Each structure stands twice: as C-alpha cells, then as structure tokens.
Amino acid sequence: MNVVWRREWIHPFESAWSILEKFAFANVLSHKELVSVIGRRAGSNVAPSFAKSMRNLISLHGLDCDTLSRFLNYNLHAHNSAYLDLLIKCVRTDINNEQYWLKDNLHWCVECMEVGHHSLFHQFLLIDHCPYHNKQLINVCHSCKQPIPYLLGEGMSGAFICICGHPLLDLSMKWSHWSQEFTIQNKSLTKWILNNTEDAVQTHGLNWLIINDLSKRRLNFDFEQLLLPSDVEKQIRYEYYMGEESFQSFDFNTNWIYKQIYDITRDIFKSIDKHLRRTYLHKHRSCIKRLNCLLKEPGESFPEICPYAYAYVFWKQSLLKYQPFYEKFCGARRLNTVNDFTVSTPLYEEVIRGFYDKTIIHSNYFKNYSFEVFKWMLAKSIGMMYLDLFYIWYASAEKGAKGVYLQNTPQNHFVAFGFTTKNKKVHFRKIKISEHKLDKDLVCPFNTKSKRKVSPSACEHPPLALTMLNRTNETEQLKYVNDYIKRLSLIQ
C-alpha cells in the first residue's frame, strides 16, 4: 500500500491522536479503514478489532507497531512512550499510571488545531492552557458542545471532524502548515521536562494527590511547585523523620486499618475544631450558640448573624453533612463497626477512601515504610482539607450572614503532593491551587461583651420540634423559621 506521509509532520510531544488523524486525512481513510490497515491482528485471518480497548491512544496496544512504523517511517509507539515518560516521570510510581495523569476527553488549543496539531501537553491533567500559545484549552465541539473521548475514532465522523459533522479545523488548508514547529513558552514546564530527563537526579515515592477535577480549573499551573529540588532540605515544607525502628513491613489489607483511619480523621477534626474555637472564634461563642440553636426573643425576628458564627456553623454542618439546623449539632460521626470503611467527616469520605485505595495499589512499594508514615501523611492531608474548607466559608461569611449570598457546598481547592524519601525522612509538599487565608477581620454585629451575651429570655426554635407541634401559632412560627433557614442554607 502506497501512502501519503512526511516525517516532518510529526513534532516533539505531539499526541498519537493528531498524528493518526493527519495520517487518515492525508490518505482519505475512515477510522475503521485506518484500524483495518494498522490495527493489531490476533491471527493472519483475523481482522483487527475496532473495540475501544484496541483504540487506546495511551498504550497504543491495539495498533501494530511494525506496520505503523513502515507507513510513517517512524516508531509511533516509541515516540508516545518517550514523551509520556518525559511528561510524568517524576510523578510516576512503580506501576504504569499514565492513564491517571491524562484527561479522558480530548482537550485542544484552537491555534494548534488550526495547523493540525494536538499535544500530549493538552491532555496532561495539570495543564489547562496551551504551553505554546498560552490559550485556554477547550474540551467540547464548538458546534454540538459535546466532549470527544481521547480514543482513536471515538466521537468522530472522519479525520478532524466531530461526529456532529463540524470540522475542528479548516480542512481546505490540507497539510500546508503541518510542518510548523512549536516552542514551549512556559518556563516552569520547560524546567519540569528537564527534571524528567535521564541525567536529572530523580526522587521516588508515592505520589498522593488531592484533586477535585483539576482539569476544569482555570489556571496556569506552576510546575515548579511540584518539583522536588536538589537542595531539598532547604525547600521542603513538611518532613517526617523515620528512625531505624520505623522501617518495617505491614499489611494494608486488614480491617484494623479502618479503625486507625477513623481515629485519625476524628482526632484531626477535633483538633482543628478546638483550634478554631480557641483562636479566631474565642470571642464569638455566644454568637455561635445564637445561630446554631436559632435563638430569638419571643415574638421578635431573628437577630443579626455574626459572620464568625456563620463561617463556623456552616463549616461544621457541611463537613459533617448535617441537614442544616434539623439535626443535633454535635461531634463527628461515630464508628459503627471496624469492618466498614468509615471516616468521621462524611464530606471527605470519598477523597479519603481514594487515599487508602491508592495506598493499597502501591502497597508493594509502600510496605517498606512504617504505618506511622501513612498516618502522618493522612493527618497532614486532611488537616489541610479541613482548614481550607473553613477558609472558604470565612471568605463568604459577611455576605452569607446577611442572606444575600447562598454558599454552595465548597470543596477543597488545593493539591497535596508527596512523598519522596531522603535521609530517612519523608518529604511532603503542599501545592495550593487557590490560596485561602484569614487575612481580614470580620465585623460582628455584637461588638461588645454585653451585646454578645445571650438574653435569658431568648428561646430556641428547632424546626423538628415545631413540626411536631400542631398548634396554629407554632405552624406560623415553623413557616417563618423554615424561610429563615432556606435563606441561609446550603439547600435551596
């Protein structure tokens, strides 16, 4: 088979997606025809499969390396593997986890796509701006607004054409600009790549991330935050020293760990809670009681809300997933049984379960370290999460306390990245996506000690108790209380 192809149409860090799309376009092949030509055969008389697993653009498992190399005059499998390695080497563990670091759906730069180019950078989880043009990446078709899976031919009706029929670039240009070269403008990304070369001093360890759909965040990620520099002792923010007795094997696949994880989340929650009440909130205990118990004078409206009380009450309600003001405002969730995975703070149970699951996956590597290291890492991570959540509530407290801003359930906005070991220490780095600080004082309407004092005549107005009373005046009170809660609540 004679094909139309030029070696200069392939560029550093170019994805297999755009290389194969260009090959299909230049040779007027549908994706099924392309797979039939370059697909891997199980036998001489067996046609290549068009199954999704065989069209994976990360492993290229379904494509015949020899056939493809002959047509391209280039080893695409080696190209893909080498540039993926340069991209994720310093965050790679002892298993192949490329899929974890790449987005499931196609992300592209409009300017790159206009010249038929798509880069592995565009698919990298930590990038959402093109490093060549500094343009925000897009991830849906301009016409149908639907995502395109990062699979060969998936969601496409032809080369560079969305399944809705909309072309992703001006096809009349054909291959006139396919040889255009690209220069990385992001200096921190350049440093990141250099750090992943064979000559670079590598650090190794379990890469533990807290990510809330980072691919949807709008930011230029600073990769230098993720790099562990050679002068690590001066740069590391947190570290844990492991004595000789700390190096011992242990088994993560036992139920006793569930109790350990529960105890860690409970103790950290109690510690953070106590820290907040003794520092930022120590003058506002009566304000918290006034809001939490829905205290007001009989026949009068609810008093103004202290923003400190607002931040604390809704932080705790959201973290513990209480139905606002309908459930007793008590402590952390209790452990029912040591045979079930339970954390004391339900809001982050899925995230913490993810930590545990990732540790299980990497247990062969991780078993060389003490369980105390795992506990230390978990405590550091969730402590950041709990505090970050309070900072978010604090930032919106003045508006929220006035009822002019409804705060949705906030999520953590940072990545915790660790760890590497050096000199018997675990080095742990924290990377903030958005910085939350208690850098301003809020204005409490009860600005003196006498004003903050709760009147002995103030009564509680628990909605559940009012619901159980069937008297006319209590029904009116219930409607008033419910309207008041709805104005402040997480739930519309």
- For every residue of 115-163, DSSP letters joined together read TT--BHHHHBTT--B-TTT-PBPB-S-TTT----BSBTTTTEEETTEET
SS3 5: coil
What are the start-end ranges of the E strands in 291-440? 414-422, 425-432
Average pLDDT over residues 334-363: 76
How many alpha carbons lie under 13 Å from residue 210 in its C-beta half-sphere? 29
Span 126-148, pLDDT tens digits = 788 899 999 989 999 999 999 99
139 neighbors 147 (Cβ within 8 angstroms): yes
Q: What is the DSSP letter of 457?
A: T
SS3 10: coil
d(CA 383, CA 206): 19
Minimal CA–CA distance to 251: which of 419, 349, 370?
370
- Strand 414-422: give its sheet, edge to edge: 238-241, 425-432, 414-422
SS3 64: coil
At 368, which amino acid appears? N
pLDDT tier at 369, thresholds 50, 70, 90 = low
Which of 88-102, 115-129, 209-223, 389-403 has the lowest average pLDDT? 209-223
The yes-or-no verdict on residue 235 having pLDDT over 80 is: no
d(CA 491, CA 409): 9
Backbone angles phi, psi at 450, to 5 degrees: -70, -40
The yes-or-no verdict on residue 226 having pLDDT over 80 is: no
Query: Mean pLDDT: which of 46-55, 121-130, 448-457 is highest?
Result: 121-130
SS3 280: coil
The yes-or-no verdict on residue 205 having pLDDT over 50 is: no
Residue 161: strand pairing partners: 158, 167
pLDDT of residue 451: 84
Mean pLDDT, the chain, rounded, equals 77
The yes-or-no verdict on residue 491 having pLDDT over 80 is: no
- Where do we find the tokens 């709990």? 386
d(CA 305, CA 294): 10
pLDDT of residue 368: 53
Tokens of 476: 């009116």
Span 83-127, pLDDT tens digits = 998 888 766 654 446 676 788 899 999 999 999 999 999 998 778
Query: Mean pLDDT: which of 68-77, 180-189, 461-470 is highest?
Result: 68-77
Region label for 491, one of left (φ > 0), alpha (ψ between -120 and 50) or beta (otherwise): beta
CB-based burial, 45-84: b 16+ in 10 Å, e otherwise = eeebebeeebbbbbbbebbbeebbeebbebebbebbeebb
Kindly calculate the radius of gyration of the chain based on its CA atoms and give it in whole angstroms.
28
Average pLDDT over residues 147-161: 94
CB contact set of 360 (below 8 Å; sequence gap of 6+):
252, 253
Q: How far apart are the first and last CA of the chain?
A: 63
